[in-house]
Structure 1
Amino acid sequence: MQKNLKPGSIGVFDSGYGGLTILSEIQKLLPEYDYMYLGDNSRAPYGSRSFDIVYEFTKQAVLALFARGCNLVILACNTASAKALRTIQQNDLPHIDPRKRVLGIIRPTAEIVGQITQTRHIGIVGTQGTIQSESYPLEIRKIYPDIVVNSLPCPMWVPLVENNEYDKPGADYFVRQGIDDILAKDNAIDTLILGCTHYPLLLDKIKKISPPDLNIISQGEYIAESLKDYLNRHPEMDILCSKGSNTKYFTTESSTKFKESASIFLNKEIEAERISLD
């Protein structure tokens, strides 16, 4: 017989810091909830890792958040959403606890793109792992089979952000190269998905370099809206999410290092605790 679940924080997981851009937008829209952020910073980045390793690491993180009382976990990581979400949902949750939920960030982004593009030609930039998984094209074609999808990995963009170079003049070259290369694939592209949670920090440069009529989709606000809609449609899950406007931060790296880097993404000081997943 299963124990009654107590309300707990909404878990937000990423391999690194980029998921903080998702958390920040969720907090803006849904400030009343409690949140628990976990960054697997000691093993980041996930982008170039195999499906099996990403799945293994992501499952460990989900279990760690469940163990700390979360009943709902958001994989605020495109690579984890691409390589681990479906297996966790279909194979693991029924055995762990079928009342708990794990959600990703690819489908909500795919759902919105059809409402934005006019030409029905879109571009996606992301990490090598996300692009190679083809999760975005597959998800988009399920919903909008008429949309033409072009994808491009931009491997230098994440290091620019994590090394605090994203707003420096040296970043212009790599951002311009990425934008030029994706648009060169298809001159009918009118909408660009930033398929990595680090990329919003490059948004000012991306907008400056991109054609003025290019629609740029930064995931955070759409993920927040999608989560709000999900909780409205699933009151049985909403009551399992505690509401005290508190947030706790966990990292698998040095807590001091995490606090310093997290301030780049959040523009505020936080406290963090180091935990082990393996």
Structure 2
Amino acid sequence: MNAESVQPIGVFDSGYGGLTVLREIVQKLPQYDYVYLGDNARTPYGTRSFDTVYHYTLECVQHLFDRGCRLVILACNTASAKALRNIQQLDLPKIAPDRRVLGVIRPTAEVIGSYSKTGQVGVLATKGTVTSESYLIEIEKFFPDVKVYQEACPMWVPLVENGEYDHPGADYFVKQHIDHLMSQSSSIDTLLLACTHYPLLIEKIRQMSPANTTILSQGRIVADSLADYLLRHPELETQCSKHGQRTFLTTDSTETFDRQATVFYVEPVHSQHLAL
């Protein structure tokens, strides 16, 4: 199979979390080829400046383009919040006008209001995503009557990446942030896990949340949105190769990545090292 015949869909994340999104995408659209790139050497992105996240993300997107990707998904809320708009509006017209980069915030904003009966939703995210106010802005476009409350959860990603997500030690930090968010309004009935690491904490989040609270993770939402996007853009869809191949790249240790990634992807992962 020559290189020209492989034009995979690129999936980018600052680390491991995007694998929860890729897993859902592959389950829904298994026929396509995918390249996953985790910038583990420079993670976390959530505490970095807008400019730094933008430059790191653009560098990784360019690499995925160089590997033949016609379409790249930023499966990272921080990158979607801090880099996507600049890449779409400033960079693509100059460097790759025939290619597309999509994020995870807009697809979520397009549907989240339909899950809430009270019209009040809570967003659990990294500090970077909360500070960007991207969810406030995007949800208002589609559901102007929905009230959005945000809570930054800076300890949750370290808990997940250190394997504490299902241990009793995580209970305090999960309860602390759920309680703080719910104290803003007793009418919040829908919680969005606006970080792709957080699905690994979903059982604890469910235990700490009021009964009958709807808890949304983004993987299925993004997978459904991508399927719809490909249907609406056949000129791009026909360029995406379909051999069922999966390639995993990391900018850090492949041994560490493979061990950690298997937790997020729920299947064995064998990665290649990428030097940026």
The C-alpha deviation readout for 1:40-93, integer Å capped at 9, x for no partner, is 000000001000000000000000000011110000000000000000000000
Q: Which AA in structure 2 matches 1:202?
A: L
Q: Could you say which residue in structure 2 is the equivalent of 1:139?
A: 138
Q: Which AA in structure 2 matches 1:268?
A: E
Matches within 5 A, 1:36-55: 36-55=35-54
> How many angstroms does 1:138 deviate by?
0.4
2:135 and 2:266 map into 1 onto residues whose CA distance is 30
Residue 191 of structure 2 corresponds to residue 192 of structure 1:
yes
Give the conservation status (yes or no) of the 8 Å contact 1:6–1:69: no
2:265 and 2:134 map into 1 onto residues whose CA distance is 28
User: Normalising to structure 2: TM-score of the pair?
Assistant: 0.97
Give the conservation status (yes or no) of the 8 Å contact 2:92–2:99: yes
2:213 and 2:267 map into 1 onto residues whose CA distance is 31
How many residues are aligned here? 273
Q: Could you say which residue in structure 2 is the equivalent of 1:100?
A: 99
1:79 and 1:99 map into 2 onto residues whose CA distance is 25
Between stretches 49-58 and 171-180, larger displacement belongs to: 171-180
Matches within 5 A, 1:153-168: 153-168=152-167
Instruction: List alignment gaps of at least 5 residues for structure 2.
Output: none
The C-alpha deviation readout for 1:119-145, integer Å capped at 9, x for no partner, is 111110100000000000000011111
Q: Which AA in structure 1 matches 2:62?
A: L
Q: Could you say which residue in structure 2 is the equivalent of 1:206?
A: 205
The C-alpha deviation readout for 1:176-215, integer Å capped at 9, x for no partner, is 1111110101111111111100000001111122112111
Give the conservation status (yes or no) of the 8 Å contact 1:123–1:182: yes
Q: Which AA in structure 1 matches 2:129?
A: T
Instruction: List alignment gaps of at least 5 residues for structure 1.
Output: none
1:115 and 1:45 map into 2 onto residues whose CA distance is 32
Between stretches 170-179 and 266-275, larger displacement belongs to: 266-275
Q: Could you say which residue in structure 2 is the equivalent of 1:265?
A: 264
Give the conservation status (yes or no) of the 8 Å contact 2:6–2:33: no
Residue aligned with 2:110, SS: helix
Q: Could you say which residue in structure 2 is the equivalent of 1:60?
A: 59
- RMSD, aligned CA: 1.0
Matches within 5 A, 1:7-26: 8-26=7-25
> How many angstroms does 1:268 deviate by?
2.1
Give the conservation status (yes or no) of the 8 Å contact 2:33–2:244: yes
User: Normalising to structure 1: TM-score of the pair?
Assistant: 0.97
1:43 and 1:132 map into 2 onto residues whose CA distance is 20
Q: Which AA in structure 2 matches 1:16?
A: G
Q: Could you say which residue in structure 1 is the equivalent of 2:223?
A: 224
> How many angstroms does 1:6 deviate by?
6.1
Give the conservation status (yes or no) of the 8 Å contact 1:6–1:240: no
2:206 and 2:232 map into 1 onto residues whose CA distance is 35
Q: Which AA in structure 2 matches 1:189?
A: I
